[in-house]
Amino acid sequence: MMVNMIPINEVSELEYEQFFKDGQPGNQKPEEDWAHEYGYFIELEGEKIGFFVLYPVEGGAWLRRLLMKEQANPALIILVFDWISEHALKHGYQKLYTHVDDSSKRVLLEMNHFQESNAEPPVDAEISGDWFEKKLNSPDQVK
């Protein structure tokens, strides 16, 4: 499977607009500066299937946003978490943090080796909900 992580700034405005027009629930196109600075498209076999933001924080990266095309195969979501983890590790991050305010997503995170975190990463946003973290350099990450 040919998977690429493409920084937003390497994608044309037209491609960017097209992705968020096609198959996204509502208009979830990120407008924030941080999404443009730290955002990536997930491209599988030449087709953009998802978008995520790896926001640097002390001790790791915050998976601040993850959007998948509506028609994406649910099994792909499991792979997507692995691909994002590998991408973060390649960029020198030791931990991946994420946040949930919807308890139905907890199982998905736990299936992907995230554990509930007692310590919140230092972030510049007021957020309610639960933080999860995944250690990227642990032996169970070796495939």
- Straight-line distance from the first to the last Cα atom of the chain, in angstroms, rounded to the nearest whole number: 16
Q: Which of 44, 46, 67, 52 is nearest to 7 (CA)?
A: 52
Q: What is the pLDDT of residue 71?
A: 67
CA distance 27 to 55: 21
Segment 109-124 shows an average pLDDT of: 81
Residue 141 has pLDDT above 70, yes or no: no
Specify whether the CB–CB gap between 54 and 63 falls below 8 A.
yes
Segment 112-137 shows an average pLDDT of: 81
CA distance 66 to 1: 20
At 38, the pLDDT band (50, 70, 90 cuts) reads very high
Lowest mean per-residue pLDDT among 57-61, 67-71, 133-137: 67-71
b/e string for 106-122 if b means 16 or more Cβ within 10 A?
eeebeebbbeebeeebe
Q: What is the pLDDT of residue 13?
A: 86
At 25, the pLDDT band (50, 70, 90 cuts) reads very low
> Which helix (H) or strand (E) is 8 found in, with range?
none
Segment 97-125 shows an average pLDDT of: 82
